[in-house]
Structure 1
Amino acid sequence: MAPSVKICGIRMPETLLAMRGLPVDHIGFVFAKSRRQVTTGEAGRLIQLLREEGFRERGGFLAAGVFVNPSMEELEHVMAEAPLDIVQLHGQETPLFCRQVKERFGVEIFKAATLPEAGEENSGELCLPDIAGRLTETLAPYVPYADAFLLDTFDPVTGGGSGRTFPWEAIPTVREWARKAGRRLIIAGGLHGDNVGRLLADYAPDGVDVSSGVETEGVKDPEKIRIFVERVKEA
């Protein structure tokens, strides 16, 4: 099966319209604090556009909302106006909270976890194999409720969404663990059209997630999106 593609941080209808016809699987709307943050109303209008313009003809373009430690009340407010297919959780949300969200809204859950930026993994007491092993232990309680796990590069301000890569050598340990658990593994952090092919060839994750890597001066670039998607599907 070809790896899934998620284009995250969408804010403008023009960006969506430029992607029509591309084999994209997930569209990400950021509700957490970020320069790509959207309001509930903005996301609602974009999701409505997705559904009106026939983006779902091939079963893709599912709407994912990115949150960091949201309350159930916040999710209730968002879902009432912007009905998401996926809730992506980037904070310290508990397995119980994930279960409650899944049961309450009938959505898929993507649980994110972060790793140090490439080159910094040995700066502390733990080496890379230890970090990957600890990560699988941390994620294990989420297996019954998470449909996929997403690995991103840690950012001290936002938690993720840094636009920088983490040491990909950690992927095989987490990937094999996730597959044994029957869960998908999605990779984010510093991806773009020039490196995603190598990631897929060398580490074979189940999906990729990109945001800043398909932007030009902070704005989504349709040509970079097209190239990124083509490189993924070619791989």
Structure 2
Amino acid sequence: MKVKICGLQNIESAQCAVSSGADAIGFVFAESKRRITTTKAKQIISKLPTNVKKVGVFVNPSKEEIERIVSETGIDTVQLHGDESPEFCQSLSFPIIKAFSIETAEDLKHIDAYSCDYILLDGPKGKYYGGNGTTFDWSILSEFDAKGKKVILAGGLNLKNVAAAMKTNVYMLDVSSGVESDGQKDTAKIIRFLNLVKNTQTMEEIK
């Protein structure tokens, strides 16, 4: 199972995540306590290997804003975490992750209208559109048909529930606050989270 470490703000945390097996790194350009400048994101991205996805997180941006930040930073995937329409998503020429806030199974029905490369299922909205550190009832995913879209699970993931999250058999796990201490990325937690996901898979493959 793939892992995205989101809300990175410094090169040390990013390099730790990559060296420990992260498949994607997320940079938040929307209003958030984890917001990063384009200059800082560019500096970090320039030092990351090409095989790791660099995801830019936006909330209700203009097309021009996305294109400018992608051009300036080297972001290769765009995550839309607001009220963006299916038409807006289709107008962009980048791989798109469309995020949805999920509370009940009814919320999953809105996904059919989107033809994005990836969909991200996040917990209920709080102060921000995403990054609120709350889970939803993952059992509703047992009957969910993503119709070929790659599903990313986010919202409230941490060291205690990662094993349960892996049982949902989604494409990728997206963690942010669950690998932080006192509001900052904790390299020990990043390493532990990635080890739990990656080493469990390795042991299962050996069996």
Q: Is 2:59 the partner of 1:68?
A: yes
Could you tell me which residue of structure 2 aligns to residue 183 of structure 1?
A: 149
Contact 2:16 2:190 in 1 (8 A): no
The answer for the alignment partner of 1:37 in structure 2 is 35
2:83 corresponding residue in structure 1: 92
Shift of 1:17: 2.5
Shift of 1:224: 0.4
Q: Taking structure 2 as the reference length, what is the TM-score of the superposition?
A: 0.91
Matched, 1:207 2:172: yes
The runs of at least 4 aligned residues of structure 1 exceeding 3 Å deviation read none
| Distance across 2 between alignment mates of 1:139 and 1:66 | 18
* Shift, 1:73, TM fit: 1.6
Give the C-alpha shift of residue 230 in structure 1. Answer: 1.0
Mapped to 2, the partners of 1:196 and 1:87 lie a distance apart of: 25
Cα gap change, 1:215/1:98 in structure 2, threshold over 3 Å: closer, same or farther?
same
Structure 2, gaps ≥5 residues long:
202-207
Cα distance, 1:20 vs structure 2: 4.0
Percent identity (aligned): 40
* Equivalences, count: 200
Please point out which of 96, 103, 107 is paired with 1:109. 96
Larger Rg: 1
Choose between structure 1 and 2: higher helix proportion: 1
Which amino acid in the other structure matches residue 120 of structure 2? L
2:125 is aligned, of 138, 155, 173, to: 155
Match of 2:113 in 1: 141
The alignment partner of 1:166 has SS state of coil
Cα distance, 1:21 vs structure 2: 2.3
Residue 193 of structure 1 deviates from its aligned partner by 1.5
Deviation track 1:128-167 (CA, whole Å, cap 9, x = no partner) reads xxx31x3333111112xx1111111122321221111111
CA distance in 2, matches of 1:67, 1:20: 22
| Residue 217 (str. 1) matches residue 187 (str. 2) | no
Residue 231 of structure 1 pairs with residue 196 of structure 2: yes
Q: Secondary structure of 1:15's match?
A: helix
Matched residue of 1:49: which SS? coil
Question: How far, CA to CA, are the matches of 1:159 and 1:200 in structure 2?
Answer: 24
TM-score normalized by the length of structure 1: 0.81
RMSD: 1.4
- In the alignment, the residues of structure 2 paired with residue 80 and residue 99 of structure 1 have an alpha-carbon distance, to the nearest angstrom, of 19
